[in-house]
Amino acid sequence: MYSLLKIDWENAVRYNSHCEVIDEISNIFLYFLVHLAFKAKLSIGGIHMAERMVGKQAPRFEMEAVLANKEFGKVSLEENMKNDKWTVLFFYPMDFTFVCPTEITAMSDRYDEFEDLDAEVIGVSTDTIHTHLAWINTDRKENGLGQLKYPLAADTNHEVSREYGVLIEEEGVALRGLFIINPEGELQYQTVFHNNIGRDVDETLRVLQALQTGGLCPANWKPGQKTL
């Protein structure tokens, strides 16, 4: 009788130990599921888990592009960092559309001001470099771009648009996202607009200069004003 009780007791202890191990494994598995969902920006229980980007290292990229001289080449964040440059990276949905050329040409017309601030401007869509070039070679009067002073990059595999959180997956085009990255590769500013709305170049320049002060800039701060 004693031996039977002893066996039952040992079995109970062994059973409880197994339950604890299973519980621990379940907790670890759940943690990794949540972590993966967070990284992949999946929805769990109806809550969208988006990862913060500002204040972190910007996703690195290298893309084929049409350069300012109309030649094909490449642009990369690493190259800008190596040259101690700020990066103004902006996405737009598609070539040969209507709002996009107003933004792209407005940025080009003010490019010298970005250059004076040690900033490189890069425009990006999911179109090919050949489509970019055709659009650049189209006169502005015909809804083209004409000569640009900065490169247009081709994110044809959608990788960069996805990394920066602006890709409309079902359409294969990007939202109007704009990102300012400092020479150390830290993403310091981001905006994402609906594709019906064009962006303000004055505001982009204002924010770039505000970031470069390294100080505390109050609401409605303008370049030349004191920081806090």
Residues designated catalytic: 100
Ramachandran angles phi, psi of 76, nearest 5°: -150, 150
* Beta carbons within 8 Å of 144's beta carbon, 6+ residues apart: 101, 135, 136, 137, 138
Residue 140 DSSP SS3 = helix
* Beta carbons within 8 Å of 146's beta carbon, 6+ residues apart: 105, 136, 138, 139, 140
How far is it, in rounded angstroms, from Cα 85 to Cα 153? 18
Amino acid letter at 152?
A: L
Residue 125 DSSP SS3 = strand
- From the list 30, 32, 35, 31, the residue with the least C-alpha distance to 49 is 35
Strands 119-125 and 86-91: parallel
* Beta carbons within 8 Å of 136's beta carbon, 6+ residues apart: 66, 70, 144, 145, 146, 147, 148, 152
Q: Which helix (H) or strand (E) holds 87?
A: strand 86-91
How far is it, in rounded angstroms, from Cα 3 to Cα 38? 52
